[in-house]
Amino acid sequence: MSIRSKFLAPLLATLLLAACGSGLSGTYTDPMGVSSYTFKPGGVVEVGAMGATAEMHYEVDGKQVKIGIKGGPMQVMTLQKDGSISGPMGITLSKKK
């Protein structure tokens, strides 16, 4: 393997992963419909609960979804194998169809 290939392959892999995005889009809700998280392009998530909404920042790091104020403290949730998100206090958020 040439030196060029050694550097080019990881760079291409990184660019492809970045182009794929987070894999999160659409609205996720808890089973009772009390809270909702609407994931939008550009790392924006609209969080709603009991009639109030707030726009926040999100990022995906492996299986972790971090939500909060950009550059500030983040709430950490976990992506599950079935596509749902394990949220605060063990609540499961499922994607609305």
User: In this structure, what CATH number is given to the domain that contains residue 50?
Assistant: 2.40.128.290
Query: Model confidence at 97, in pLDDT bands (50, 70, 90)?
Result: confident
Residue 9 has pLDDT above 70, yes or no: no
Whole-number pLDDT of residue 12: 34
| Residue 63, domain member (yes or no) | yes
The residue segments making up the domain with residue 41 are 22-95
Helix (H) or strand (E) holding 94: strand 92-95
Q: What is the pLDDT of residues 23-56, one digit of tens each?
A: 689 999 999 999 999 999 999 999 999 889 999 9
Reading the block at residue 91, the tokens are 């609540």
Residue 18 has pLDDT above 60, yes or no: no
66 Cβ contact partners less than 8 Å away, ≥ 6 residues apart = 58, 59, 60, 74, 75, 76, 77
Reading the block at residue 55, the tokens are 């726009």
Q: Which of 48, 57, 50, 42 is nearest to 28 (CA)?
A: 48
Counted domains in the chain: 1
